[in-house]
C-alpha cells in the first residue's frame, strides 16, 4: 500500500507494484498460519526461534533481515540465509505467476544521485558512527 501510494505521487502512470514483481504479504501469511496470535516481528522471531537480540530499536535493514529469516522458517525454506551449501528453493506454487509484468524501463523514472558533497557527508557520518560504536557497520565488514 505504501509503495503504491508513492508510485501514484510520481504521476508517471505506474501500475501497482505487484504488476512488476511478486509480492508476499508475510503478515497475512502469519495470520493464516497462527490465527488469533500476535504476529508482530518480535512475536514471530520468538515463535520461530530467530535470534533478534541485536534489535534494540526499529531499523529497516535489521528488520528486513529478521523478516527474511522468519519467512524462511514459516515456509520451510532454507534455514541459513547466507550459507552457500544450504541453497534450497522456496516453493511458490501458490503464488499467482500467470500475471504479466511491465518492464520498468518503459517509464521515465527520475534517478537522483548523491552529489560528491553528500557522499562525503555520508561517509563522515558512518565514520563517526563506527568510532562511537567501536566497530564497523555490518555492510562495511562484508565487502
Q: Is residue 133 part of a domain?
A: yes
Residue 93: Cβ within 10 Å count: 5
Residues contacting residue 21 through CB under 8 Å, at least 6 positions apart: 101
Cα separation, 34 vs 31, whole angstroms: 5
pLDDT tens-digit readout, 105-134: 666 767 789 999 999 999 998 888 888 888
Least confident of 43-47, 52-56, 68-72, 83-87: 83-87
Looking at per-residue pLDDT, the higher value among 102 and 137 belongs to 137
Q: Is residue 101 part of a domain?
A: no
For residues 91 and 135, state if they share a domain: no
Q: Write down the pTM of the prediction.
A: 0.49
Identify the pLDDT of residue 10. 87
For residues 133 and 90, state if they share a domain: no
Q: How many domains would you assign to the chain?
A: 2
Question: Is residue 8 within 8 Å of residue 107, measured between CB atoms?
Answer: no
For residues 87 and 116, state if they share a domain: no
Cell of 75: 515456509
Residues contacting residue 8 through CB under 8 Å, at least 6 positions apart: 14
For residues 28 and 83, state if they share a domain: yes
Q: Is residue 104 part of a domain?
A: no
For residues 66 and 116, state if they share a domain: no
Question: Is residue 136 within 8 Å of residue 123, measured between CB atoms?
Answer: no
**CATH no. for residue 65?**
3.30.420.10
> DSSP readout, 103-117?
-GGGS-PPP----HH
For residues 35 and 85, state if they share a domain: yes
Q: What's the domain range around 136?
A: 110-143
For residues 11 and 81, state if they share a domain: yes
For residues 18 and 68, state if they share a domain: yes
For residues 85 and 127, state if they share a domain: no
Q: How far is CA 83 from CA 65, 69, 77, 80, 138, in A?
A: 14, 13, 13, 6, 17
pLDDT tens-digit readout, 39-59: 999 999 999 999 988 887 777
Task: Give me the active site residues, please.
Answer: 58
Amino acid at each position: 500500500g505504501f509503495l503504491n501510494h508513492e508510485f501514484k505521487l510520481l504521476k508517471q502512470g505506474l501500475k501497482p507494484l505487484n504488476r512488476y514483481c511478486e509480492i508476499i504479504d508475510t503478515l497475512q501469511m502469519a495470520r493464516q498460519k497462527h490465527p488469533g496470535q500476535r504476529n508482530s516481528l518480535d512475536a514471530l522471531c520468538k515463535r520461530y526461534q530467530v535470534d533478534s537480540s541485536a534489535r534494540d530499536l526499529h531499523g529497516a535493514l535489521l528488520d528486513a533481515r529478521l523478516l527474511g529469516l522468519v519467512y524462511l522458517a514459516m515456509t520451510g525454506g532454507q534455514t541459513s540465509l547466507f550459507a552457500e551449501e544450504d541453497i534450497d528453493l522456496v516453493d511458490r506454487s501458490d503464488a499467482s505467476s500467470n500475471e504479466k509484468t511491465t518492464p520498468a524501463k518503459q517509464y521515465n523514472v527520475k534517478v537522483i544521485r548523491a552529489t560528491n558533497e553528500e557522499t562525503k557527508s555520508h561517509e563522515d557520518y558512518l565514520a563517526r558512527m563506527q568510532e562511537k560504536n567501536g566497530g564497523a557497520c555490518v555492510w562495511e565488514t562484508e565487502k
